Amino acid sequence: MRFLAYILLPLAVLAAEGTPPNIVLIYADDIGWGDLGCYGAKVIPTPHVDRLAAEGTRFVSGYCTSATCTPSRYGMLTGEYPWRRKGTGILPGDAALIIPRSRATVATALKGAGYTTGVIGKWHLGLGELEVDWNRPIKPSPREVGFDYSFIMAATGDRVPCVFVENGSVVGLDPKDPIEVSYKRPFSGDPDLKSGEVRAALAMDWSVGHNMGLVNKVGRIGWMHGGASAIWDDTTMGDTFAMKACEFIAKNKTKPFFLYYASHENHVPRIINPRFAGKTPLGPRGDAVVSFDDQVGRILAELERQGLTGNTLVILTSDNGPVLDDGYKDRAVELNRAAGHAPAGPFRGGKYSVYQGGTRVPFLVRWPGHVSAGKVSEALVSQVDFAASFTRIGGGDPAPFIALDSLDVSAVLSGSEKSTRDYVVSQGMGLALSIREGDWSLVPGHGRKATKVRNEAEGDDSEVVAGDQLYNLEKDPGQKTNVIAANPAVAARLKDRLEALKAKGIEQPLPR
Ligand code: NG6
Ligand code: CA
């Protein structure tokens, strides 16, 4: 009994005893609940992720805040629901940093608690102020919001500039070949990606959007000129990020560190390393998940090599639900259909959606001896809770985050408490919100026109406009049968709760 109590010491207790763990947050991009072996994927081999699940706890009701990237990352790092703030939607690649320097983030809090902090991978929270000059040191960058080290792409793989930025400077830039970026118009001499001849020569054709600038024979959003020596290689991006993560771990092994590893897999364009080609019957989209798994394997191996496995809390989750055709012709729709693969698992919707598939994502936690191993947890947890929970685990004061929308769920993560959170709010596109309480999910109707999103396989949210919907997720995880007529009191309670949460503040401009 004594032994058991010792091995499952609550996380916060351990931090209080003065031995806070390293925290490695592995963040996938657009990888759905159903895309990983440990969540039931049959045709995507993910041995490293599955090992993490076997050695830790697999949450089946883990949520990101939003069904797209920028808001989920904002919510996760600040502990505040992004829908409270204007300007937290999907950002262009030349956007200014949207987290004000004055704001506490999970990184500033952990840094304050003595951690060395790093972010590697996809940023997508903006950089600089107003117009960024990519040829000079960029400020503010992740450093100004708490990260001692950063090696990032500014936005997404499908947005220019297609370069890495390390500690505020573009990597490999030749000053004689400066970078120019435009989100308004092409530079003179840019090819017309709508012309058949140009399209025929692309490494991967576009299906919607992605027909502005041409980089590495792939159409992107926005145009860029110059910077030839700095342009990334799409096929080695995963290797580069994983290598930088391993270097960060090795370099900082002697004192607590926080590593936020934001993989680009499997966001579009899915131009992955040829060694992963054909690993799944799903084409580039499935093979990109295998590439993600490879990155996870390398990070876990580096922790092991440095003797840090036992003292490192590893969390793996995703920024939003899955999407098949997200603007490039990579055959995801037809190949998924042929293989019978369900990227969102049993849930309705996917990326962009206010239904479960948009925000209910893979969610694994491992810390040997402190987090139950081989366990499946039904507890409701949200990434908005990371700010308070990680701060608590790291020995800092979570109160500023708790005053926002973050809850300290550290005892739930370790398994020493069953649940803390009894509701979770999910954001689809724009201000479309849904709320889950226990097994009930309320998807309120709204007067606006539905956002027609391109997510053919998972459907769009047009039905949401029609009126309020209530689902019982235990009986109907796929949200097929609206049971609002039979349960008006439940619907009213959830609606009131959502309204009360919204009343705490919405559409406030971000204070600078
Ligand atoms: C959309 C893009 C999509 C993807 C998404 C952001 C088009 C037609 N669609 O606007 O390809 O880039 O933005 O994805 O351009 S996220 O995961 O970073 O939120
Ligand atoms: Ca995403």
Atom of ligand 1 nearest to the CA of 328: 11
The widest CA-to-CA distance across the chain, in whole angstroms, is: 74
Residue 123 alpha carbon to ligand 2 centre in Å:
11
Q: What is the pLDDT of residue 7?
A: 47
What kind and span of H or E run contains 140? Answer: none
**Which two three-digit tokens encode residue 196?**
């058949």
Q: What percent of the chain has pLDDT over 70?
A: 92
What are the strands, taking DSSP E only, across 188-231?
Answer: 214-215, 218-219, 223-225
Exposed / middle / buried, residue 503 (Cβ in 10 Å: 0-12, 13-18, 19+): exposed
Q: How far is the CA of 133 from the centre of ligand 2 (A)?
A: 26
Atom 8 of ligand 1: nearest residue by CA position: 209
Ligand 1 pocket residue status of 90, Cβ below 6 Å? yes
Token duo for residue 62: 């883990």
What is the separation of C-alpha 493 from the centre of its chain, rounded to a whole number of angstroms?
30
**Lowest mean pLDDT across 44-58, 203-217, 327-341, 458-472:** 458-472
Mean pLDDT for 440-468 is 71
Find the DSSP H helices in 168-264: 196-200, 237-251
Is a pLDDT exceeding 90 seen at residue 467? no
Q: Is pLDDT above 70 for 398?
A: yes
pLDDT at 6 over 50: no
> Mapping DSSP to helix (H, G, I), strand (E, B) and coil, where does residue 437 land?
strand
Q: For the chain, state the CA radius of gyration.
A: 22
Write down the pLDDT at residue 417.
Answer: 83
- 450 touches ligand 1 (CB under 6 Å): no
Classify residue 460 by its DSSP letter: -
Element (H, E) at 435: strand 433-437
Q: Tell me, using a 6 A CB cutoff, whether residue 268 lines ligand 1.
A: yes
- Structural domain spans, the chain: 11-172+233-421, 180-230, 425-502
- Residue 246's φ and ψ, nearest 5 degrees, are -65, -40
Mean of pLDDT over the chain: 92
pLDDT at 429: 85
State yes or no: pLDDT of 402 exceeds 80.
yes
Quickly name the fold that domain 11-172+233-421 has: Alkaline Phosphatase, subunit A (3.40.720)
- In this prediction, residues 141-145 reach a mean pLDDT of 97
Q: What share of the chain in percent tops pLDDT 90?
A: 86
Residue 130 clears pLDDT 50, i.e. is over it: yes
16 has a pLDDT exceeding 70: no
pLDDT(1) > 70: no
pLDDT digits (tens, 9 = 90+) for 347-386: 999 999 999 999 999 999 999 999 999 999 999 999 999 9
Distance 455 CA to ligand 2 centre (A): 13
pLDDT at 249 over 60: yes
DSSP state of 2: H
Average pLDDT on 2-25 reads 64
Token pair of 80 as six digits = 């505040």
Look-up: residue for tokens 């009930």?
440
Q: Which pLDDT belongs to residue 512?
A: 45
Taking the centre of ligand 1 as the mean of its atom positions, its distance from the CA of residue 157, in whole angstroms, is 10
Confidence of residue 319 (pLDDT cuts 50, 70, 90): very high
How many whole angstroms separate alpha carbon 36 and alpha carbon 40? 7
User: Rounded to the nearest 10 degrees, what angle do helices 284-305 and 237-251 cross at?
Assistant: 20
**Preceding omega of 269 cis (within 30 degrees of 0):** yes
Banded pLDDT at 449 (limits 50, 70, 90)? low
Distances (CA, A) of 505 to 52, 98, 196, 387: 38, 18, 49, 19
Residues 6+ apart with CB under 8 A from 398: 109, 387, 388, 389, 391, 392, 406, 408
**pLDDT for position 148:** 98
Confidence of residue 461 (pLDDT cuts 50, 70, 90): confident
Residue 326 has, within 13 A of its CA and on its CB side, a CA count of: 23
**8 Å CB contact between 352 and 453:** yes
Nearest ligand to the CA atom of 68:
1
Helix (H) or strand (E) holding 152: strand 149-153
Q: Is residue 507 pLDDT above 60, yes or no?
A: no
Contacts of 93 (CB under 8 A, 6+ apart): 154, 155, 156, 159, 160, 161, 181, 183, 221, 222
Atom 7 of ligand 1, residue of closest alpha carbon: 209
pLDDT at position 163: 98
Is residue 491 predicted with pLDDT exceeding 70? yes
Check if the beta carbon of residue 153 is closer than 8 Å to that of residue 93: no
Residue nearest to atom 6 of ligand 1 (CA): 90
Give the ranges where 396-510 is alpha helix by DSSP (H). 399-402, 410-414, 488-503
d(CA 73, CA 81): 10
**For ligand 1, what atom is nearest to the CA of residue 70?**
19
| Ligand with smallest separation from the Cα of 328 | 1
Q: What is the mean pLDDT of residues 391-413?
A: 95
316 - beta bridge partners?
26, 364
> Are the CB atoms for 442 and 494 separated by under 8 Å?
yes
Residue 447 has pLDDT above 70, yes or no: no
DSSP for 338-402, please give it: HHT--TTTT-S--TT-SSHHHHB--EEEE-TTTS-TTEEEEEEEEGGGHHHHHHHHTTS--HHHH
Helices 284-305 and 47-55 pack at an angle, to 10 degrees, of 50
Render pLDDT for 62-98 as a digit per residue (tens, 0 to 9): 999 999 999 999 999 999 999 999 999 999 999 999 9
**Ligand 1: which residue has its CA nearest to atom 16?**
69
Residue 424 or residue 130, greater confidence:
424
**Ligand 1 atom showing the smallest separation from residue 320 Cα:** 17
Cβ neighbours, 10 Å, residue 488 = 11
By DSSP bridging, strand 440-443 and strand 469-472 are: antiparallel
Query: For the chain, how many residues are written?
Result: 512
Q: What sign results for the dihedral spanned by CA atoms 345, 346, 348, 353?
A: negative
At residue 276, the pLDDT reads 98
Between CA 302 and CA 279, with CA 30 as vertex, the angle to 5 degrees is: 65
Q: Is the CB of 458 under 6 A from ligand 1?
A: no
Query: To test the ligand 1 pocket, which listed residue (124, 206, 267) has its Cβ within 8 A of the most ligand atoms?
Result: 267
Q: Is 267 in the pocket of ligand 1 (CB under 6 A)?
A: yes
Confidence of residue 3 (pLDDT cuts 50, 70, 90): very low
CATH architecture of 425-502: 2-Layer Sandwich (3.30)
Alpha carbons 56 and 26: distance in angstroms, whole number: 14
Mutate to test the pocket of ligand 1, among 30, 69, 263 (most ligand atoms within 8 A of CB): 69
Are the folds of 11-172+233-421 and 425-502 the same?
A: no
> Does residue 314 contact residue 26 with C-beta atoms inside 8 Å?
yes
216 CA → ligand 1 middle, Å = 19
| Nearest Cα residue to 53 out of 311, 393, 376, 380 | 376
By C-alpha distance, which of 443, 445, 463 is closest to 453?
A: 463
Average pLDDT over residues 453-466: 63
The three-state secondary structure class of 26 is strand
Q: With bands split at pLDDT 50, 70 and 90, how would you rate the model's confidence at 506?
A: low
Which ligand lies nearest the alpha carbon of 427? 1
The closest residue, in CA terms, to atom 18 on ligand 1 is 69
Residue 279 — φ and ψ, nearest 5°?
A: -70, -20
